[in-house]
Amino acid sequence: MSNLTISIQDNFDYKTIKVIAGLGNVGKEYENTRHNAGFLLVEKLAGKNQFKEEKKLNCLVTKLHVNGSIIYLIKPTTFMNSSGRAINRFLKYFNINPDSLLVCHDDLDIPTGKCKFQMGKGPRVHNGIIDIEESLATQNFWRCRIGIENRKKLDFKIPGKDYVLGSLSEEEKNQLDLVFNTIKAELNFSRV
């Protein structure tokens, strides 16, 4: 692959993915925060498609037709730390196995501008991912780990829980946009 900022586990096959869930927090105050990187990515993947609220599933949902397959993009409307409830409900409703799920989330273990696609591996601590693992009773789902660690450029140390809720700088937005464009191409969503 041409862009070295993205690392993909060898056995990842985007054709097996049926649901792409972006993690984040709903509400204006969270829109451009680092913690909403997952929301930002699925919005990018959706292109011009609009998300529709599915209250009974606790999600905003849009459906794409990619390479003859239907892929659901979802944004849980439960807050980040309760994402598992919404994702579990969605998978059960459509009878989709967790191994066909790709969860996109921010990751403080990875520098901004980098991303990893991995099965069953996540950050040391991420309450949204922990909730999903507990709700699904498995770790066997794909993760798109979006790097947001950029604190080395700052003169003072910000605790992770405060840092993730901080607004993205223009530089960070530009770095994420480059990563998101590469992901979109890698998933073959370029024409969406």
Instruction: Could you list the beta-strand ranges (E) of the chain.
Output: 6-8, 19-22, 52-54, 59-66, 69-76, 101-111, 115-119, 142-149
Q: Which of 35, 65, 105, 126 is catalytic?
A: 35
Tell me, yes or no, if 35 is annotated catalytic: yes
Q: Can you tell me whether residue 153 is helix, strand or coil?
A: helix
- What distance lies between CA 134 and its chain's CA centroid? 18
- Alpha carbon distance 107, 177 (integer Å): 16
How many CA atoms are closer than 13 Å to the CA of 132, on its beta-carbon side?
A: 31
The residues annotated as belonging to the active site are 35
